[in-house]
Structures are given as structure tokens and as C-alpha cells.
Structure 1
Amino acid sequence: MAWFKKTAVTSSDPSKKVKIPEGLWVKCADCKEIVYRKEFEKNLKVCPKCNYHSRIGVKERIALTTDAGSFVEIAVELQSCDPLDFTDTIAYKERILSNQSKAGLKDAVTAGTAAINKNPAVVAVMDFSFMGGSMGSAVGEKMVRAAEAAIEHRLPLIVFTSSGGARMQEGIFSLMQMAKVSAAVGRLKKYPLPYITVLTDPTFGGVSASFAMLGDIIIAEPKSLIGFAGARVIQQTINQQLPDDFQQAEFLLKKGLIDKVVHRKDLKTSIARLIRMLRGAPKNA
């Protein structure tokens, strides 16, 4: 009888299979949850489940922070050379060209004049996608020129940091930028002009050990990793268990190393308010 006979299961028609487009979902780098890409981007690339602020590029940062059409770049053509003729697995010159092609940037920082809620300022933004946001001679020089532009036009300087530290391919030339940039931003106090730093994930090494932590006001995005050496190196050095939130922005705020943790959607408003407060304060405040 037909009731007791097994019927062969035929494969479905390939043309009728549901095709799911690639890139529809995003995996959070922190909580590892899968998030719908449109929801993720609508939330400014902040995970809706754990509030982790994913890294964003220079163009996105400028669009989120400055008034539309107000950004005018300075030192456009400035880029790193190869003072040490450094060659690893890939020649340094080739690595620079490769990163310029991928990131669409001349180097790891972009600076220019802009308006933030109608408050004029000089803005410098670091991009981790360009050689890990490493600080070479070009990055240091652009930062100095940003500080000089702020002094020339009597504007506040706003810096967004995202870096793994000094650029090893430039050796001592890279390390010199720590003192060079620190001296440049130190001259702002003479006028006086506000200097606000916004630490994003990650901010480490020579950048955190110099101009990143010299701001009159230091802001950080939630859950951003901030420090000098990595947690694993520190733990091996001191031979002690570190807290789970060690080097996160909230941990640094608790310890008094930064002033405020601000969600990405509130950064523009917060910076504009700080500029008005600092520019309006009396000289002896």
C-alpha cells in the first residue's frame, strides 16, 4: 500500500531558494551578538545590545561632529616619507601607498577648520584604519599645524584620538612627535584657547602618553580602550589579576583620569556646550 512506501525526497529547485544578501548582518566586536546592519548604522555604529562604540573613519566622524559643509582641510598634501629606508616583510614606502589606497587618506590624521553647532573650531581626527592610527612624522606635523591654525585664528582645538601608538617604521622620528605635539598644544594656554580631546577606541602608546591626555577637558566614548601598554603586558609585569573593565573608559572615569564618558549621538552637542563654556569663562577661571 502507498501508505507504507517511502517516497524519495527531491531537492528543491535552486531557482526557488531564498538568497540572503551578503553584509546584511554585523557581529559586534565586544559582545559578539549578531546585529541587523541597518539598525547598527542607524544607531551610529553603536551596538544596540551592549552599547559598544565601533570604530568609524574620518569622513563619518567629521559628518557626525561638524556642521554640514563647514569642514575645510588644512595641510592636505602632507604625508610620511621613509627617513630610515625601513624594510620589514614589506617596504615601508609600499605599506604607506597600500594604506593610502585602502583608507583613501594621506595619513592617519586629518585636520581642518570647521563649525560645531555654529561654534568655529579646529578639528583633528585620527583614523585607526590607516596603519592602526600610528603616529609618524606626518601625523605629528599635522597636529602641530592644527594647533598653529587654532592660535592663528584664535579658535579652540578639538582632537579625536584613535591610535596604537608611535609608528615603529620611523623609529626615533616617531617618538620625537610626542614632545613636538605636546609643546604645540601647550602654546594654546598662552592665549588662552580651549583644548578638548575625545578618546575613542583604541587610544594607546605614544598618543595616550602625550597629547591625548593633555586636554583641558578629556572626553571618551563608552567602552573605549585607553592606556599605554596592553592589559596582558601589564598583568604579566605586575603578576596580578586585573579588573574586567581595566582600561575601559568607564574605569578611567572612576579613577579620575578622564572627565566624562559621552555617547556618540551626544558628542556634538556636548563639545559645542563645552566650547561655549570655556570661551565664555573669565581669564582667571
Structure 2
Amino acid sequence: MHEDYNVFVKRVHHKYGIDLSLYKQKQMMRRTRSFYERYGFLSYEDFFMLGLTVDGEMEKRFIDRITINVSEFYRNRERWMDLRRLVLPELVAQNEALTIWSAACSTGEEAYTLRTLFSDQPKRDIKIIATDIDELVLLKAKRATYSSKSLRELLPHEVTEYFNNEGDNYTVKDRYRKSVTFSKHDLLNDRYMKGVHLITCRNVLIYFTEEAKDRILKRFVSSLTDGGFLFVGSTEQIFSPERYGLETYGSFIYRKTPLHEQ
């Protein structure tokens, strides 16, 4: 089975540019195997040659599956409140204009959550750049329409403030959408932007190997301005953050040490 999987990994990398070897093997094998078994395939070989190669819709569903898209507004709300309390006042006090990167943004809930955190700063120049490897989820993010399930961490007055409600759908109001832009980006292969004041990348690093995680963290730090912040998920504590040029600033919040160079 492992040899069959290894050949499959090479083929996926060649065809789609997605390197599955940089994801934790047991988790990714379980994820991919359950996907192809659902469609009646018996091996990775058959799945690739008789499924992905000939069925465009299956390709899209497969890429959506392996890129792990799970998100909601204010997921782990207490951590977002920590970000609001500890980080936002400093960012606003020290910068007239802010560049924020929502990395691996999935369907956009995290990016729009970031924008709502600044809802009491209407005149601040805030640019939120949200990226993901999966073009299908980016399309949904741009539409900015969600079900009530995605809003379950929000308080009633926040739902009213941030969304227009039409039946079972909730669409982010224009004033929170206009400063958020979405684009495709592969954390493992593409160039990273510079001059970012805050990066959020939550509940994604846990799926990568230690080697890949190390590479991503180093590149995040190089993207941050001196004193910039990195906000990760609640199962993604960075041990020995000083080796990346980071210092712990709060729960799952890290600050780039001033004058640190990668």
C-alpha cells in the first residue's frame, strides 16, 4: 500500500503541483483512501488513472478534499478575543496603514473575522490579503455568503451588525468586504509577500510534516515587519519560538523580535 501511495504522491505532485509528501503521511493516506473508496476505486493506481485523469469534477472534489477546508467565524472565540485585546491596540497605535495576511484562508471566514475586529476603526487604512491553494474555496470566499453553521460562535448583535440575512443565507456586508482581497497561494511553493503587520494561519500547520512546518514558519517571519505578529491555531503551539526570531506574546500569538533577520 505504501508503494502504491508513494507513486500516487509523485503523480499528484507532477500533475497538480501539490506535494502530499509534505503532509503527515498517516493523515493524508487516510484522507485520500477514504475519498477514492467512496467512489468505488480499489487502489491509488486505479483512482488516478481511471478517476482523476478522466473526470474533471472528481479532480475538483479531490483537491478540495486534500486541501482541508474547515472554517467558521471566530473559531475558538476566546483566542480571537485575545488577539483583539493584546494585538490590535498596538497595531493601530503604531501604524497608519496595516497589511494583514490571512494565510490558508479556506472559504473566507477567518479573513472577514479579521475585518470585523477592526469595526471600530472605520478610518484606518486596513488591507487584508486572504490566500489559499484551492481555487474553489476562494470563489466561495469572494461570494461571502454562509450558512448559520458558520456563524455559531457569533453573538446575535454581531450577526446583525456584520451580515445581511436572506432566508438561510448570511452575506457579509459590503463595508466589511471591500478591504479584503482573495488570491491563490501555495504556502509550500509560492513566494511570500513582505511588509506584513499581522499573519493569521490557523488550524493548518498541524497537517504538515515538521520539515514543512519549519520552512513555512521561517518564511512567515521573513514576511513580517519587525514587531509584527503571527497568530496560529489552538493546537499549533510553537515550541522554542526564539529559534524563528519570535517571542510569545499571548496564547498562540507570537511577535517577531525587533530587528530580527532571517
TM-score, L = length of structure 2: 0.30
The structure that is helix-richer by fraction is 2
Larger RCO, structures 1/2 (Cα 8 Å, 6+ apart): 2
**Higher Cα Rg, which structure:** 1
